[in-house]
Amino acid sequence: MDNISLSKVDLSGYKPKWQERFAFFEKNGNPFSETFKEAFKALPTGKRMLINMNFLAFFFGPIYLFVLGLWKKNLALLGISVGVGVVLAIYETVTGTLLPRALDTGINCGLAVLWAMTTNYAYYLKEVKGQQGWNPFEK
């Protein structure tokens, strides 16, 4: 991990994986910036997974984000999920057919990936920058 000053916040109480994630975000900016994208491409696959995905959030998204204290973003993601569910339920009701099982599973996995890819940067914003808004895709 690079020696990077992290906004006067003591991160010694965090696990090394969080310290590494926070340092990467601090050095390279938000995941939507060009600096981030270039630095991210240069990382080996294992480090990319560490920075970009949170496996606990993939499997336990709504619970894990509440545990991390990201309740606003969690409620927003839950709202997106409920919205997708309502749209699919309306589609199934109107057409009288169920979605194919593979498509249903794909949609569920896609929503889980949404939690997994949002968590790390959202937690960085909360813990290091002191920002905790409702937008899960905040820059």
* Distance, CA of 108 to CA of 75 (rounded, Å): 17
Q: What's the pLDDT tens digit per position in 56-77?
A: 999 998 999 999 999 999 999 9
Angle at 42 between CA 37 and CA 47, to 5 degrees: 95
Specify the pLDDT at position 96.
93
Specify the pLDDT at position 53.
95
* Distance, CA of 118 to CA of 62 (rounded, Å): 12
Specify the pLDDT at position 8.
61
Q: Which residues of the chain have pLDDT under 70?
A: 1-9
Give SS3 for 54. coil
Instruction: Tell me if 64 sits within 8 A of 70, measured CB to CB.
Output: no
* Distance, CA of 69 to CA of 75 (rounded, Å): 11
